[in-house]
Amino acid sequence: MTLKKFIALLLLSGAMLFGTTVVNTISAQPDETATAEPERSGQETLKQWFVDGGPGFMVLPLICLIFGLAIAIERIISLNWATTNSSKLLKNISSKLDEGDVAGAQAIAKATRGPVASIFYQGLERIDEGVDVVEKNVVAYGSVQMGRLENGLVWLSLFIALAPMLGFMGTVIGMIKAFESIAEAGDISPTVVAGGIKVALLTTVFGLVVAIILQIFYNYLVSKIDSIVNNMEDASIGLIDLVSRYRRANKA
């Protein structure tokens, strides 16, 4: 529930930031009657490019960026919370099983956050039913945890693909408008052509920039998930060994 509130707050902040940027951009437009244009800073140049590209088309990749960043940040926080010191967890559970305290081992697993601890708890609940049952339960629940780790990546990949497409669409429409301007002018004026092409290409640039930013986050998240999954698999093997040793000790 906290993460959902965080996402909503982030989206609201992004929308407010965008609105402030647009207002500042419009209010900061240079006077057309001025004879000399003052030198603009990098931020003012970006604002001007946003306006030149047309808010109607530039805002669409911006929405993809806001939602994509919200998903990426939420996933980063969730995955960091899902990271568990599996070696320490295995050591604590091993000590409890050596004492024959299965309930204590379950309590340790239940009190520890992360998918590894959840898998351990599910396996320890079936410890009296045999190693095979524990192994099947661990594998089945591990698949569920993997699905939860990948939650949201589909939407992030959608925004990565959608942002440049929206930019290209703005470019195509901008080129159409440029040719319409040429037709209305009756000649191929460099000023008319250059202005139309500039407006058209700005939407493509912005869409590509959004896709690049989100792709970096996506690759980081995939790498983080792979690391957690490998940790889950190694820890699961260690748990099965502990359960086998516990079962042999109780049969002896």
Rounded CA-CA distance 153/68 in Å is 10
Q: Domain of residue 68: give its range.
A: 59-252
What is this structure's pTM?
0.74
- 205's CB contacts (< 8 A; 6+ apart) are 167
- Assigned domain for 68 exists: yes
Confirm whether 37 is domain-assigned.
Answer: no
Q: Is residue 245 part of a domain?
A: yes
pLDDT at 160: 93
Tell me which H or E stretch contains 161. Answer: helix 153-185
**CA–CA distance, 73 with 218 (Å, rounded to integer):** 10
Asked if 235 contacts 117 with a C-beta cutoff of 8 angstroms, the reply is no
How high does pLDDT run on average in the chain? 76
Query: What mean pLDDT comes out for the span 169-196?
Result: 70
pLDDT digits (tens, 9 = 90+) for 148-170: 888 889 999 999 999 888 888 87
> Would you put residue 186 in left (φ > 0), alpha (ψ -120 to 50) or beta?
left
Separation between Cα atoms, residue 225 and residue 82, nearest integer Å: 10
**Per the structure, how many domains does the chain have?**
1
Range 80-87 contact pairs with CB under 8 angstroms and sequence separation of 24 or more: 81/113, 81/114, 82/113, 82/114, 82/115, 82/149, 82/228, 83/114, 83/228, 83/231, 84/112, 84/113, 84/114, 84/115, 84/116, 84/117, 84/231, 84/235, 86/116, 86/231, 86/234, 86/235, 86/238
In a domain, 70, yes or no: yes
**Amino acid (1-letter code) at residue 27:** S
**56-71: average pLDDT:** 84
- The pLDDT score that the predictor gives to residue 161 is 93
Residue 39, domain member (yes or no): no
Report the percent of the chain where pLDDT is more than 90: 11
Rg (CA), the chain: 28
Residue 218 in contact with residue 156, Cβ under 8 Å? yes
The answer as to whether 121 is a domain residue is yes
Structural domain contains residue 73: yes
Share of residues in the chain with pLDDT > 70 (%): 70
Domain-located, residue 50? no
